Amino acid sequence: MKQIFLLLFFSILFSSCNTSKKDIVDTHEYTNLLVQETSPYLLQHAHNPVDWRAWNDQTLAVAKQEKKLMIISIGYAACHWCHVMERESFEDSTVASVMNKNYINVKVDREERPDVDQIYINAVQLLTGGAGWPLNVITLPDGRPVWGGTYFGKNDWVNALEQMQKIYKENPERLFEVAGNLEEGIKSMDLLPLNTENVDLRNYNTDQILSQWQESFDTRFGGPNRTPKFMMPNTMSYLLRQAKQTQDTALLDYVTTTLDKMAYGGIYDHVGGGFSRYSVDAKWHIPHFEKMLYDNGQMVSLYSNAYLATKNTLYKEVVEQTLAFIARECTNNEGAFYSSFDADSLTEEGALEEGAYYVFTKESLRQELGTDFELFATYYNINSYGKWEKNHYVLIRSKSDKEVCAEFGITLETLQNKKTSWRSLLLTFRNKKDKPRLDDKILTSWNGLMLRGYVDAYKAFQKPEYLEAALKNAHFLKSKQWSETGALFHNYKGGKSTINGYLEDYAAVIDAFIGLYEVTLDAQWLDISNELTSYTYAHFFDTEKQLFYFTSDEDTSLITRNFEYRDNVIPASNSMMAKNLYVLSHHFDNKTYAATASQMLKNVLPEIEKYPSGFSNWLDLLANFQNSYYEIVVVGEDAQDKIKSIHQYYLPNKLIAGSTIEGSSPLLNLRFIEDETFVYVCVNNACKLPETEVTKAIDPIKF
């Protein structure tokens, strides 16, 4: 089947390249409808000469009524090559004339419509063997894809469109045949059979899985031994846990090397804080400069937990500076978090260029830093190691603070003060440049990830402002994104929420609210998590396959309704949901939750064995079954203080429940004693003797 798709793809592409260029007179009256949208990415295209429409029922009805092929063009606001294709093709009236004459043109923000994106990313994967963004697909009037790819140069794009229209006019049966085969292929891509085998999860051996996985480690710079390098925070989180629980020093060294090198690298913004999306080289030096909320939320969690496990002050510094960036530039007055910053910004000459805001010349640094330049240049490698292109430097470290202090004969305190001064000075200098564009839409799932980051940072560092930010965001999600029907919305912009939530929204918010309960002991967050879970069972769960669909049964049907179960830069919504169910089953003594979590894990085990790095969040859930999973319950008037102390330990295999008064929930019932505060440590409701001192309660179970 794939060979058929490839033959059609390349026959059209090659024949299009030989098509003679025609002079096109554009007499079209533009009717670009994107001005009605709220997505910053769609609004960026609102003044293109292309007759863009948004993805909605009305657009699909027009395509069917006019019997026109559709162009589905998918991207996102921070996508560099999306902007390049816009400048070259979508802003060109000649190109627009070809598109407008024969096609219904649909622009999709993949972050607002991940369901639509997944359908067509799968289609292009089948057609070409690879996919990415910008994603450009041609479909029949009913939305079934027949051809597509990623970035196209102007001439190739125009010629391909003309060839596709010619085939549709002269030999439409050819396209209908491809559409049918491709539809069948798409529907088969995310099918996961129910695993009916009797699997002993507790004794499931992962040694061979991890041994296979370790062959892909870059032990020098950390991360995978390939480029480009994505940070994969959930992968590092699982490997950190595995290293600590098994006392595997080699694995721990790999994890800390990865964390150190990412924090040293140019992928981390040493001036403004926060991480870019990925590095194009092995040493984490040159990033693809866009900053995404989902990366930074997860990286805050990762470095907060890594600090608890290692007490490395570098990790504390990374968390503090990243959250300073989030508070300064990514948070609105309602406590909600914006989505991303673009990779591109304007140079002094007015040209849009990737990374222009973030890079420095040696001359500008020397002028700004004065007598500190030599020390700064050594610390951040303003030399051949840190040079990028066009005499520009991207800051990167290669030495520890102690090594630099020894070289220059200064104290750590002096260096720390200088670093603080440098950041302030250079941030002011940098802000005189044109800033990257901000995508200020609010996405519920990504806000859940960032909320969890704040919660984890508060656990590790106990800064009140972190808890305040977490609570403000949680109240925003509760009041603005949770509807009276019990459903979550996916997006929010300009006071409006317009898109029904996906499984990723529920999974991320439930996880964040469970974490918020653990630091506040406010039962409302646990109760809301339980209500949202009940909603997902009602509207997302497939009882036959024992997995959750990505879309609600209340959403308009697409070509197929898929399951997202492979972990990526963001964990799969099903793996997040399975972990939520596992935790909530303990809080509410809910056997259905426990059975579902167990069965979901069993379903993916055959694939984990083949591709472990794509299932790290599932492996983290498996670790809960392989090791004792502790219920730490603190009850009494001093419960808050004792729980703060417990949070200072790295204990990934536990949940926390607590109350300062009598409680009736399964974990709290009959445990309150007047004028006493007891710490109970239990495994599946079998408890050790209660303790009044945290250290005595925790010592037997800590790593």
Alpha-carbon 536 to chain mean position: 21
Give the number of C-alpha atoms closer than 13 A to the C-alpha of residue 636, restricted to the C-beta side. Answer: 18
- Residue 409's SS3 state is coil
Report pLDDT for 537: 98
Dihedral class, residue 243 (left if φ above 0, else alpha if ψ from -120 to 50, else beta) = alpha
Q: Whole-angstrom Cα distance, residue 505 to residue 502?
A: 5
Report pLDDT for 258: 98
Alpha-carbon 157 to chain mean position: 31
Alpha-carbon 24 to chain mean position: 43
- Residue 162's SS3 state is helix
Report pLDDT for 686: 85
Q: Helix H segments across 86-142?
A: 93-102, 114-128
Q: What does the block give as tokens for 361? A: 């010349």
- Residue 523's SS3 state is helix
- What lies within 8 Å, CB to CB, of 524 at 6+ separation is none
* Secondary structure of 292-334 as H, E, C letters: EHHHHHHHHHHHHHHHHHHCCHHHHHHHHHHHHHHHHHCECCC
Give the β-pairing of 630-635 and 654-659.
parallel
Report pLDDT for 2: 46
Q: How many CB atoms lie within 10 A of CB 688?
A: 15
Give the residues of the chain that fall short of pLDDT 50: 1-4, 6-7, 9-30
Crossing angle between the packed helical segments 412-430 and 362-369, to the nearest 10 degrees: 120
Q: Could you tell me the sign of the dihedral formed by the alpha carbons of 440, 441, 442, 443, in that order?
A: negative
Among the listed residues 300, 339, 345, the one whose alpha carbon sits nearest the alpha carbon of residue 323: 300
Report pLDDT for 14: 40
* Model confidence pLDDT, tens digit, residues 617-659: 999 999 999 999 999 999 999 999 999 999 999 999 999 999 9
Q: Whole-angstrom Cα distance, residue 655 to residue 583?
A: 7
- Identify the burial level of 648 via C-beta atoms within 10 angstroms of its C-beta, where 0-12 means exposed, 13-18 middle and 19 or more buried: middle
Rounded to 5 degrees, φ, ψ at 263 are -70, -30
Dihedral class, residue 67 (left if φ above 0, else alpha if ψ from -120 to 50, else beta) = left
Q: What does the block give as tokens for 78? A: 């921070």
Domains of the chain: 2-189 (3.40.30.10), 207-343+439-626 (1.50.10.10), 358-432 (no CATH), 630-698 (no CATH)
- Identify the burial level of 101 via C-beta atoms within 10 angstroms of its C-beta, where 0-12 means exposed, 13-18 middle and 19 or more buried: middle
Q: Whole-angstrom Cα distance, residue 168 to residue 175?
A: 7
Tokens 């918010």 correspond to 509
